[in-house]
A and B are shown apart, each in its own frame.
Chain A
Amino acid sequence: MNAELGFGLILVGLLCSVAGAFAGFAAGRTGSEEGWRWTRRLALGFSVAMLLANGVMEYALLTHDFSLKYVAQVGSLASPTYITIVSLWSSLEGSILFWGAVLAIYVIGALVANGTRNTDSMPYAVASWMVVAAFFCFLMAGPANPFWPGPDPVPSDGPGPNALLQNHYLMIVHPPTLYLGYVGMTIPFGLAVAALMRGTLGPGQLALLRTSLLVPWGFLTVGIVLGGWWAYEVLGWGGYWAWDPVENASLLPWLTATAALHAAMLPGRRGTMKGWTTTLVLATFLLTLLGTFMTRSGVFNSVHAFSQSDIGPTFLVFIAICLVWSIVLLALRVDRIEGEGRVTAAIGRESSFLLNNLLFVALTFTVLLGTVFPLLAEAIKGVKVSVGEPYFNRMAVPMGVAILFLMGVGPALPWGQPSAERVRTALIPPVVAAVVTVGVGTLFGVRTPWPVASLFGAGFAGWVTLAALLDIARSGTASRQLRRIGGYVIHGGIIVMIVAIAMSSAFRADEEIRLKTGETVEFAGYSLHYDGPDKVVEPHRQSLVARVSATKDGETVELRPALVSYPSMQQPIGSPDVHSTLTHDLYLSLMQQDPATSTAGIHAFHNPLVIWLWIGCGIAALGTLLTLTPAPRASPAVAPATETAAPAAT
């Protein structure tokens, strides 16, 4: 019953999305109001069908309907209810179904947010969303059908989802957050396509584009960090980022989306960079598709890849179609939307935006190169290689520091073409702040070049950000400037995160420790005492726990790193334990536990400032919320053109 109902809903979704795509493109060309009305109805039809299909799957999971292949694959009577609920996105077919639900929510949200505006371009946008929707419905109707009937006879129980996904509560929030980021990029993509097809990118379209980029950008930011957090708390190698292909896959669209968000501020201000903004938005969407392909198709083996999947070729074809379509549209139409303005000043806020964009694109290029190079090398020369972390670090660290520094330079400089005097007075205080920050860092032992450079950048950008926030607070118009405040708050969060990344990677200490029960060892200021092993039995798993007391300055904390066995896996997986403080984390990972000699092999890490990565991400998320507040009406501070009208002649 569930199988037929679910599959029927997918077919309804497929029909609605295909029809909606045709109706939208037709309505866009003819300007027919009836056509536009039908486009919206069909888009809503798709959305409702997707949400209902997800409801059917959740019902099937919760009632353990093992007659569905997917439920038989990921369900288990022993799993706690919350694990059963999140099993929806624990394997390929379910995650594509969930993708449909997320797109449905975004489509409804975007239609509501747009209301009755932009009637000339919106049909094209909705049509583009429906093309993407149709592709995913096609996947579900064909190669990745989540409602495929299961084995006969129906099994009485299943293995439960991938053990690595069951091992931590962050797995409940990380995938949906990242999905909200990834899938949400479909909306700005559609708007960019519409702008190009229509040949306009007016203020109304820009406002919607900005919002539709910001929402998924915020989710993507949080999703990426949650993924790192999960890796940190679960995988047991003591870090949160390894330049693994799947991590890079999530970072790439974030980089271009960040560039696009900055670029999108220029058309509204100066009437420039419209074509460039659209290009970045299109690239962002293509990178989300590439990322989904890389993680889902099994070309990279990872926790996200599912070996049986054969959606790879279909996905490649769709990426190729979208790529060609984007390039053709850009080539034919980009001149039509480009505004009249032009960036004039060599040193000013606009040029710092340009430099920012250049850096983000360069960073995207280097990360993309390192990520796909092994695939290319294997396809072309047949050699198996991987790109080592040093490549990424060597390329990304200088660019990251430069971006951090620009985060201060840009907002410090006024729009237009400032005088040399003005530039000097704007830049001297933050330079002083940066030097002081470096000085304080040196006292704490930060003396190697890149960490010092990042402290300099952080001090500089941090000063500018705080000064800007203070200025707004003093002006007494803070309630009218929530969006600007949000932007600076995001910058503040990112600065905190970059400092945390720089310090935790530069000053990490680790040691492999072998401890017999009752023994004590000194590590990074802690004395670690091994109290002995423990065994914990739960219905869905068994854990072998090492009880360790860590004492520092007379205070003792208990850490319990473990090896966890799930019935679906032959081998146990590690489950590290982390003691987080504001200055550092003590991180213990149990490598092995030898019952014969009652010796525990523990990999201990001392990671400074890691907690600030999560805090910084929270600050950035808060800032994103502020930037999404409604724009103030009739602000007196508008009319940026008059502010800097003078030097237009150069």
Chain B
Amino acid sequence: MSPKLYVFIAVALIGGALAFVSFGSLGENLVYYWSPSELAANRDKAVGATIRLGGLVEAGSVSTQGTALSFVVTDGAERVPVQTSEIPPAMFREGIGVVVEGTVDDTGRFTSKRLMVKHDNEYKAPAEGEMPDHDAMFGVVEETR
């Protein structure tokens, strides 16, 4: 065999191994962006995976007990109870758009490890009953963290 062929085989092997490891590691570390409705539809897949859940904080659902904070995230159709021990950001309040990152258990309760509030540079007051724009909201997360 010519040296060139050896080099080619070596590079192909290394490249293949790298791609294998990369894609494997990628698959284990994907974070899904879901709304409460999508979460409800994918309940079986959702348990245990890291999920970013986006929606509005339901009015009247916020309660604090010591350092534990619980509230309900809703998209109008489905409701997801969320609990966290984090200090919420300054703008956190009822009715605001939030993204929570964490896991859901088999009873449907969401435990948040990170709570992010919709944070918009070009702010405009939401119209009556307006839902946050899912895409824009998830994008904004990148900025605030």
Q: Residues of A with Cβ closer than 8 Å to B?
A: 162-164, 235, 237, 242, 244-246, 300-303, 307, 358, 362, 365-366, 369-370, 373, 383-391, 394-395, 512, 514, 563, 568-574, 590-593, 601-603
A74 to B22: give the CA distance in the assembly, Å: 42
Binds A, one of B55-63, B72-80, B86-94, B104-112: B86-94
Name B120's closest neighbour in chain A (CB-CB). Answer: A570
Question: Is A387 in contact with B26, judged by CB distance below 8 angstroms?
Answer: yes
Please report the C-alpha to C-alpha distance between residue A98 and residue B26 in the assembled complex, in whole angstroms: 37
- B22/A366 in contact, CB under 8 A: yes
- What mask results when residues 108 to 144 of chain B are scored 1 for a CB within 8 Å of chain A, else 0? 0000000001011111000000000001101110111
How many residues on the B side are at the interface (Cβ–Cβ under 8 A)? 40
Residues in chain A near residue B2, CB distance under 8 A:
none
A385 touching B142 in the complex, CB below 8 Å, given contacts A391-B25, A572-B91: no
Q: Cβ of B71 < 8 Å from any Cβ of A?
A: no
Determine chain A's interface SS by DSSP, over half rule.
Answer: mixed
The residues of B with any CB-CB pair to A shorter than 8 Å are 14, 18, 21-23, 25-26, 28-34, 50, 52, 67, 85-92, 117, 119-123, 135-136, 138-140, 142-145
Q: Which residues of B contact A563 (CB under 8 A)?
A: 90
Q: Which residues of the partner chain B approach A303 to less than 8 Å between Cβ atoms?
A: 143
B49 vs chain A, min Cβ distance (A): 10
Count CB-based A-B contacts (< 8 Å).
110
What's the Cα separation between A514 and B138 when bound, in Å?
Answer: 28
In the complex, which residues of chain A have a beta carbon less than 8 angstroms from the beta carbon of B122? 307
- List of A residues within 8 angstroms of B85 by Cβ: 512
Closest to B124 in A: A570
| A384 x B29 contact (CB < 8 A) | no
| Nearest CB of B to A639, in Å | 27
How long is the Cα–Cα vector from A162 to B52 in the complex, in angstroms? 26
A388 touches B30 (CB 8 A): yes
Given contacts A242-B145, A244-B142, A395-B21, contact A591 B90 (CB under 8 A): yes
**Contact assessment for B123 and A571 in the assembled complex, using a CB-CB cutoff below 8 Å:** yes
Are the CB atoms of B121 and A162 closer together than 8 Å?
Answer: yes
Q: Specify the chain A residue showing the minimal Cβ separation from B144.
A: A235
What is the chain A residue whose CB lies nearest that of B91? A571
* A533 nearest CB across to chain B (Å): 12
Query: A358 vs B50: C-alpha distance in the bound complex, in angstroms?
Result: 33
Question: Most chain-A CB neighbours within 10 Å: which of B34, B88, B89, B117?
Answer: B89
> Is B142 within 8 A of A301, CB to CB?
yes
Query: Contacts of B90 on A, CB cut-off 8 Å?
Result: 563, 571-572, 574, 590-593
* Alpha-carbon gap, A603 to B122, bound state (A): 27
Residue with the highest number of chain B CB atoms closer than 10 Å, among A300, A302, A385, A590: A385
Cα–Cα, bound, A601→B139 (Å): 26
